[in-house]
Amino acid sequence: MAIPFSRVLRHAAAVLAGYLVFALLAVALFALSHRDPHVAQDWAFTLFSIAYGVISAVLAGYLAAAIGGAHPVSHARTLAIAIAAVAIVSLLARPGGGAIWSQLLAIVVFAPAAILGGWLRGLKRR
């Protein structure tokens, strides 16, 4: 049985919206703090950025799940894959090296946090 095109579009819009929220919040953090995400940071800022990133990813996953409708975790899971994929591409494309802490956190912590956001949305729907 084929999936209706409208559901595919809704899923894509949900994932895109979630990713935009996650990415814009990350850009805002580093722009407003005047810090380079590809440079080693002090421990206080690193801890703050981890907490901020987790909250941002959970929010993004929740939004993707809310927009996507049925099967909320599937939308958040696709968002998590997108977050991890962009981080992997960023790791592979690093010209001249630099710190990789932000990319590693995106893969190991923030991507799973996006799935948590979708799961939380699923709990609310019940």
Find the domain containing 28 and state its range: 5-125
User: Are 30 and 87 in contact, with CB atoms under 8 Å apart?
Assistant: no
Confidence of residue 125 (pLDDT cuts 50, 70, 90): low
pLDDT digits (tens, 9 = 90+) for 1-14: 777 888 999 999 99
What pLDDT is stored for residue 126 in this prediction? 63
Count of structural domains within the chain: 1
DSSP 33-76: HT--TTS---HHHHHHHHHHHHHHHHHHHHHHHHHH-SSHHHHH
For the chain, the average pLDDT equals 92
Q: How far apart are CA 50 and CA 72, in angstroms?
A: 24
pLDDT digits (tens, 9 = 90+) for 18-58: 999 999 999 999 999 999 887 888 999 999 999 999 999 99
